[in-house]
Structure formats: structure tokens, C-alpha cells
Amino acid sequence: MLASVAVLFVGTTPALAEPSVAEIEKQIDTAWRKLEPIVEKHNATRQDLAAKKAQAKTLRNKIAPLQSQIDAAMDRVSEFAVEAYKGDKASSVNALLTNKSPAALVGQLSVLDQFARQQQRDVQAVIDLRDKYDAQKRPLDTLVDQLTKTEAELAKKKKEIDAEVDRLQKLRIKAYGNGSAGPLAPAPCPATYPGGNAGKAVKFACQQIGKPYVWGAEGPNSYDCSGLTLAAWAKGGVSLPHNARAQRGKVKSVSRSELRPGDLVFYYADLSHVGMYVGGGWIVHASRAGEPVKMKRMDDGEIHSFGRPG
């Protein structure tokens, strides 16, 4: 008996078993939960950067005419100085200063002084306005610099994100052969759609089923999670930001009992994922790299909250 047991511990070491489909899916889930918040942060930063750059441009456009006014005023002052004290006008200045009439001299100097003071007031008024707009623009410039640096840092991560997406895709191919078989096959969308804007949004979202997930994309050929809900509700006449957390902040909260097709379902404590409710306990969503836009059971994931656009 001991001899037979000992046989189990000798000889060639058996090869490690290949991971099962369930184990591979678990690996992908874990990796994607870390990656999707980075994708959504990229989307939010890109939108914030564009908005702040537009504000800075508006202020620069306001400041430009003021600078032109300052330049023109300074030119007038310079011309006045040249005419009064230099060049061809020197003889006129000499004549003024050698005028034998003290009263005339005092009067001319008074006019000269008043003109100079008026010029100074004109210039100062424009400078004050310019400084006002500069003061408004300065914090925006600082913020744009910060956002630009943040975007540059995220851009550096693009290769890392793409490499991770590629790794996950290879894992999926290893599990299913082509990345769309087995449990990844999408369920059908509803046979009928609600009316109104919500119906337009739901119908559009369902029409995108089968299109690939691409991070940062909002159609028409590929989507990420918030890009899909953004594009779908655009068909319903509602503008949404390209970021799940920002969408949560913009839409009206609804309870689970109030859910109706077209409502948004937000996932995870960090609000890093969003899908669209289509009825019957199902959502349509752009889930993650390697999987097409598809439907899934709404409760298959950690639900954060629900929201209604429009």
C-alpha cells in the first residue's frame, strides 16, 4: 500500500492545467475593473480640457481689441511728443517758449498740459480694462496648463492601456476562439420600443449591438460605455457628457421601481460604468475591450444608482 502511494509522488511532474473559461473570465473582470476607471478619467479630462480652452479663447478674444486700443492710444501720445518736442516741430516749440507774451505762453502750456492729461486718462482707462480681463484669464491659463499636463500624462498611458486591452483580447480568444461565442453571445433586444425620445434612444442603442468596444469612442462605428449612452440619447434630443460620473451628475435620479426603458443604470462606487435599461431586467451596454456592444442582465454587476435623461 505504501509503495503504491509513493508512486504518486515520483516520476514526471504533471503539466499545469490550462485555466478554465470561468477562470479566464475572472481574470478579465479583475483587470477590466482596474482599467475602466482610467478610461473614464481620460474621457472626463479631455472634455474638461476642451471646455476650459474654449473659455480661455473667449477671454483672449475680448482682450485683443483692448490691446489694440492701448497700442493706438500710445501711438497718439508718441506722435504728440514727437510733434511737440522733436524734429520738424522744434522751431514751433522754440517759438512757443520764446513768446514775448507771458499770458500767451501760460495759455499754450496749459493747453499742452490738459492734452497730455487727457491722453493719460484715456490710456489708463484702457489699461485698467486690459488688467481686468487679464486677471480673469490668468486662473484659466493656469487651469489649462494643469489640464494639458494631465492629458499629456494620460496620453503616455495610452500605450499601456492599449497593451492591456490587447492582452485581455488574447485571453478571450484563448477562451472562446473568436471573442464572441459562449456566454458572450448577446441576447436579443426588445421586439417593440417605447414611444417618445426614450424610445429613440433605446432603439438606437440596440441597433449598435455587435459593434466593437473602443475606449474613448462615441460612434458611429465603435463605442465605450458612456460614449454609447451619449450617442443614443443624442438621438432622443438630450446632450450628455462623455463620462459616466458626469452623466450621473446631469440626469434625474429614479428608483428601481420607477425604471423604464431609456433610463441609465450606473455601476460601481467609482461610477466607472453605465448602461441603458431596455426593459425586462436587461440593459444594453458597451461593456469592455474584446466584447461587442451587447445586452446583459441589469443585476449582473454592482449597481450604484439609476438616472433618467431628459
**Residues carrying an active site annotation:** 225, 273, 285
In the three-class reduction of DSSP (H, G, I as helix; E, B as strand; rest coil), residue 191 is classed as coil
Rounded Cα–Cα distance for residues 193 and 199 (Å): 6
Angle formed by the axes of helices 225-235 and 196-207, nearest 10°: 130
How far is the C-alpha of 225 from the C-alpha of 287, rounded, in Å? 6
- The per-residue DSSP string of 117-185 comes to HHHHHHHHHHHHHHHHHHHHHHHHHHHHHHHHHHHHHHHHTHHHHHHHHHHHHHHHHHHHSSSSSGGGS
Ramachandran assignment for 231, one of left (phi > 0), alpha (psi -120 to 50 degrees), beta (any other): alpha
List, in order, residues 6 or more apart from 169 with CB less than 8 Å away: 179, 289, 290
Side chain identity at residue 115, one-letter code: F
The position carrying cell 446631469 is: 250
The grid coordinates listed for 152 are 499629456
Distance CA 42, CA 155 (A): 9
Rg (CA), the chain: 35
At 60, the amino acid letter reads R
CA distance 129 to 259: 53
Residue 140 to residue 130: CA distance in whole angstroms: 16
